[in-house]
């Protein structure tokens, strides 16, 4: 018995770091059906996606597939979210391309090597973030900034695919304005066959699922069987288009670019080469990608977990994603994260445990072992169409609208991040956005709401003299500040109070109502002291009321209360006013 309970303890401890010990050992038979379907459905979604995203990062398609085998399995062992699908994602792929392109030419061993190194660095950063419990740092990116950033990135990604949809040959570029000029210049060289194929593919990806869904429903299929079929639209597109190209030799006679030869078999073990200089150059990108990847995975993980009343732990997530990325670095892959839409599919396809992701990974493994030759005639335009449709859902103007109505500052932060991404680059964009939202926050808090208060009738309540009909006395001024006091806002408070007493020469006592002051930092305390001296020279006594427990503790510790005098601190404003003969 004791042994059992000890064993139990041991398990509980370890399952916090290796969650598979939790869900694996409590796995129940009835989970299997859901996990199996979800695993297969996500597989059909992932295979074309993985190849497309690899191309987006400037890598050969098989790299995307390699990154979809070991990483999801590793994550299944360590991740606290049971439903997210870890593999290549659009946003990270774009950032990877942007980071590597300046350092090496595409389709060179150097380029592949840098992708591996980047995955290793991101993995290391993630693990450090998790171990040192720095998960909270991602909170410094406001929701406004993230939304603006992702929206702009979606646009950049979509336009990066236009050349494939038009069959244009234009140089690789990471600058959006540059890309636009290239597209406009090249517009005359459109390959109409490619354009047609691309357009048809997009329309098919939009309408086929809807149409198929309606049709199957008419035939009396149940929702649970319809969903998997509709979700496999991208795979259908891949198969059909490949067959068309192969049968009509469209690649040769119509000049439609195809994926071409993809090596068969599992990836061989790879070792990123650790060059200090290169690491320095990649560091900013690695940090940015690690943050972005984590945010995406964490937010979707939390969202899905809530639907199943499960919990996701930020720091353990960082570690799980970190190990997953490192596993990618050693198996010929590139940086991975948790995809939003894909994880959604996994959830709605009925996944119960990470076993679904393991099944998906096995399907991808089988594909690279036996089916890659089938992708020879796969047109790049189809993959481009899949990317465009995938990211089109990310453009999020609705949030901008909401934020703008509620508070301009958040709207400005959204726009700042959005424009910065389009004008400069994806990394600079998110950093700039973060800086803007922090400064706007400081600016907003630099002018806190301050109210002169008076007594409501004969009650013990005191309210804003401007909003309510209250009683005040000429010789006592009671002021309530609705903010914690810290270096950014205390000078404003000081100026306000000095102004207030200079406007009221008859004031002899100033009572600061601290009911809304949750903290007072060191600089604020210094300002408060100089304010008290200033008031003394004006023969005005300073008092405080309704000081909160934690704040009081701090003020006592530094002897501020003794300086001020215990008789100058009151529990309630009412008591203060009575003592100062203002009833």
| Smallest separation, CB 292 to a second copy (Å) | 16
| Smallest separation, CB 213 to a second copy (Å) | 25
One residue of 518, 563, 575, 581 binding a second copy per CB under 8 A: 518
* Burial tier of 90 (Cβ tally within 10 Å: 0-12, 13-18, 19+): buried
| Smallest separation, CB 431 to a second copy (Å) | 13
Q: How many CA atoms lie within 13 A of 412 on its CB side?
A: 12
278 is an interface residue for a second copy by CB under 8 A = no
Query: For residues 99 and 394, which CB has a smaller minimum distance to a second copy in the complex?
Result: 394
Task: Looking at residues 108 to 167 of the shown chain, list those that interact with a second copy (rule: CB under 8 A).
Answer: 136, 139-144
292 is an interface residue for a second copy by CB under 8 A = no
Enter the DSSP assignment of 371: I
Query: For residues 163 and 480, which CB has a smaller minimum distance to a second copy in the complex?
Result: 480
Q: How many CA atoms lie within 13 A of 34 on its CB side?
A: 17
| Smallest separation, CB 477 to a second copy (Å) | 16
Scored b (16 or more CB within 10 A) or e, 146-162 reads: bbbbbbbbbbbbbebbb
372 is an interface residue for a second copy by CB under 8 A = no
Owner of token pair 């991101």: 122
550 is an interface residue for a second copy by CB under 8 A = yes
311 is an interface residue for a second copy by CB under 8 A = yes
Query: For residues 9 and 447, which CB has a smaller minimum distance to a second copy in the complex?
Result: 447
Residues facing 379 on adjacent strands: 258
x/- map, 413-442, a second copy, by CB under 8 A: ------------------------xx--xx
303 is an interface residue for a second copy by CB under 8 A = yes
Owner of token pair 């690695």: 286
| Smallest separation, CB 227 to a second copy (Å) | 20
484 is an interface residue for a second copy by CB under 8 A = yes
482 is an interface residue for a second copy by CB under 8 A = yes
Closest by alpha carbon to 192, among 169, 170, 165? Answer: 165
Closest by alpha carbon to 69, among 347, 372, 367, 371? Answer: 367
Closest by alpha carbon to 123, among 180, 70, 166? Answer: 70
Element (H, E) at 577: helix 573-579
| Smallest separation, CB 186 to a second copy (Å) | 36
Closest by alpha carbon to 65, among 382, 374, 332? Answer: 332
| Smallest separation, CB 129 to a second copy (Å) | 14
CA dist., res. 223 & res. 214, Å (int): 10
Residue 183: strand, helix, or coil: helix
545 is an interface residue for a second copy by CB under 8 A = no
Query: For residues 275 and 482, which CB has a smaller minimum distance to a second copy in the complex?
Result: 482
| Smallest separation, CB 491 to a second copy (Å) | 5
Question: Judged by CB under 8 A, which stretch of 47-55, 68-76, 193-201, 483-491 contacts a second copy?
Answer: 483-491
Question: Judged by CB under 8 A, which stretch of 13-21, 148-156, 181-189, 402-410 contacts a second copy?
Answer: 402-410
One residue of 33, 105, 369, 405 binding a second copy per CB under 8 A: 405
- No. of H helices and E strands in the chain? 26, 8
Q: How many CA atoms lie within 13 A of 533 on its CB side?
A: 7
One residue of 102, 188, 549, 566 binding a second copy per CB under 8 A: 549
Cβ atoms 189, 168 nearer than 8 A: yes
Closest by alpha carbon to 413, among 139, 140, 148, 138? Answer: 148
CA dist., res. 206 & res. 189, Å (int): 27
Largest CA distance in the chain: 98
| Smallest separation, CB 307 to a second copy (Å) | 6
Question: Judged by CB under 8 A, which stretch of 27-35, 282-290, 328-336, 521-529 contacts a second copy?
Answer: 521-529
Query: For residues 173 and 310, which CB has a smaller minimum distance to a second copy in the complex?
Result: 310
One residue of 129, 202, 483, 485 binding a second copy per CB under 8 A: 483
CA dist., res. 147 & res. 323, Å (int): 27
Question: Judged by CB under 8 A, which stretch of 167-175, 255-263, 281-289, 409-417 contacts a second copy?
Answer: 409-417
One residue of 12, 223, 460, 526 binding a second copy per CB under 8 A: 526
Residue 134: strand, helix, or coil: coil
Element (H, E) at 294: helix 276-307
Give the β-pairing of 569-570 and 541-545. Answer: parallel
Sheet strand arrangement including 569-570? 462-464, 450-455, 476-481, 509-513, 541-545, 569-570
3-state helix, strand, coil in the chain (%, to 5): 65, 5, 25
496 is an interface residue for a second copy by CB under 8 A = no
466 is an interface residue for a second copy by CB under 8 A = no
398 is an interface residue for a second copy by CB under 8 A = no
One residue of 534, 552, 572, 574 binding a second copy per CB under 8 A: 534
Alpha-helical regions (H) of 511-566: 522-537, 549-557, 560-564
Question: Judged by CB under 8 A, which stretch of 97-105, 243-251, 259-267, 443-451 contacts a second copy?
Answer: 443-451
| Smallest separation, CB 4 to a second copy (Å) | 25
* Interacting residue ranges for a second copy, rule: CB under 8 A: 136, 139-144, 303, 306-307, 309, 311, 314, 399, 402-403, 405-407, 409-411, 437-438, 441-449, 464, 467, 482-484, 486-492, 495, 498-499, 502, 515-516, 518-519, 521-523, 525-527, 530, 533-534, 537-538, 548-550, 554, 557-558
């Amino acid at each position: 018995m004791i042994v059992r309970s000890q064993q139990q303890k041991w398990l509980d401890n370890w399952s916090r770091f290796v969650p598979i010990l939790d869900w694996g050992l409590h796995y129940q038979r009835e989970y299997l059906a859901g996990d199996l379907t979800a695993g297969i459905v996500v597989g059909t979604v992932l295979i074309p996606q993985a190849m497309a995203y690899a191309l987006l990062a400037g890598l050969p398609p098989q790299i995307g597939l390699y990154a979809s085998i070991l990483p999801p399995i590793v994550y299944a062992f360590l991740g606290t979210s049971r439903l997210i699908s870890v593999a290549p994602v659009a946003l990270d792929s774009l950032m990877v391309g942007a980071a590597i392109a300046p350092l090496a030419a595409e389709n060179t061993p150097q380029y592949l090597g840098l992708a591996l190194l980047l995955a290793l660095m991101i993995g290391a950063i993630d693990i450090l973030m998790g171990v040192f419990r720095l998960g909270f740092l991602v909170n410094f990116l406001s929701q406004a900034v993230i939304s603006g950033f992702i929206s702009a990135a979606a646009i950049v990604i979509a336009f990066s695919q236009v050349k494939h949809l038009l069959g244009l040959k234009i140089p690789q570029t990471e600058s959006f304005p540059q890309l636009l000029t290239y597209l406009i210049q090249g517009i005359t060289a459109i390959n109409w066959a490619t354009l047609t194929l691309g357009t048809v593919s997009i329309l098919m990806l939009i309408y086929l699922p809807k149409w198929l869904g309606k049709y199957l429903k008419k035939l009396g299929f149940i929702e649970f069987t319809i969903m998997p079929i509709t979700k496999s639209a991208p795979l259908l597109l891949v198969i059909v288009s490949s067959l068309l190209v192969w049968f009509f030799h469209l690649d040769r006679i119509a000049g439609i670019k195809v994926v071409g030869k993809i090596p068969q078999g599992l990836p061989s073990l790879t070792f990123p080469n650790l060059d200090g200089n290169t690491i320095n150059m990649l560091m900013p990108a690695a940090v940015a990608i690690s943050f972005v990847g984590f945010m995406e995975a964490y937010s979707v993980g939390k969202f899905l977990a809530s639907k199943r009343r499960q919990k996701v732990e930020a720091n353990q997530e960082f570690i799980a994603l970190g190990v997953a990325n490192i596993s990618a670095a050693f198996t010929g892959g590139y940086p991975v994260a948790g995809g939003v839409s894909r994880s959604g599919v996994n959830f709605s396809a009925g996944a119960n445990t990470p076993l679904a992701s393991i099944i998906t990974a096995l399907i991808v493994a089988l594909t690279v072992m036996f089916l890659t030759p089938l992708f020879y005639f796969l047109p790049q335009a189809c993959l481009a169409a899949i990317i465009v449709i995938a990211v089109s859902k990310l453009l999020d103007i609705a949030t901008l609208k909401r934020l703008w109505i509620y508070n301009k500052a958040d709207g400005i932060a959204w726009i700042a991040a959005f424009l910065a991404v389009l004008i400069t680059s994806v990394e600079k964009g998110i950093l700039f956005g973060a800086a803007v939202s922090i400064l706007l926050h400081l600016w907003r808090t630099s002018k806190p709401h301050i109210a002169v208060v008076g007594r409501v009738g004969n009650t013990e309540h005191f309210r804003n003299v401007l909003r309510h009909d209250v009683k005040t006395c000429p010789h006592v001024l009671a002021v309530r500040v609705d903010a914690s006091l810290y270096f950014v806002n205390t000078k404003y408070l000081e100026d306000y109070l000095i102004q207030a007493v200079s406007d009221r020469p008859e004031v002899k006592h100033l009572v600061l109502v601290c009911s809304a002051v949750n903290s007072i930092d060191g600089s604020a305390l210094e300002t408060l002291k100089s304010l008290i001296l200033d008031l003394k020279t004006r023969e005005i006594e300073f008092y405080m009321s309704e000081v909160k427990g934690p704040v009081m503790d701090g003020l006592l510790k530094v002897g501020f209360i003794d300086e001020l005098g215990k008789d100058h601190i009151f529990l309630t404003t009412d008591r203060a006013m009575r003592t100062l003969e203002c009833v």
